[in-house]
Chains A and B, each alone.
Chain A
Amino acid sequence: MANKKISELTAKGARLAATDLVEISESDGAGGYVTKSVTGANITGGQIIAAVSNTVGTTITGLTNAISDSFLLPANTFSSNCQFELQWYPSRIVGSSGTTQGLVYINSTNSLTGATLFATGGNMTLTTVSNNRCTRNVLIRSNIGTLASTSGQTGSDYTSILPTENLPFDNSVGIYFLFVMNNVTNVLLQSRNVGYKLVGYNL
Chain B
Amino acid sequence: MSNIKTSKGKITFNKTEYVLQNFTNDSGESVSYALVSDSQVHIGTDKGIILFDLSCTINKETFTDINLFTAALY
Contact = CB atoms under 8 A, between A and B. Distances in A.
Interface in A135-164: 149-153, 162, 164
B53 A117 contact: no
B49 A114 contact: no
Nearest to A167: B48
B46 interface: yes
Given A151-B23, A152-B26, A153-B26, A117 B37 contact: no
B49 A117 contact: yes
A105 B23 contact: no
B14 A114 contact: yes
A63 interface: yes
Given A64-B37, A65-B40, A113 B53 contact: yes
A72 interface: no
A151 B42 contact: yes
Contact of B37 (A116, A152, A168, A184): A184
B62 interface: no
A191 interface: no
B50 A116 contact: yes
Contact of B50 (A63, A115, A149): A115
A177 to B, nearest CB: 14
Interface string A36-71: 000000000000000000000000000111000000
In the A-B complex, the 6 residue pairs with the smallest Cβ-Cβ separation, listed nearest first, are A117-B49, A116-B48, A184-B37, A153-B26, A65-B37, A167-B48
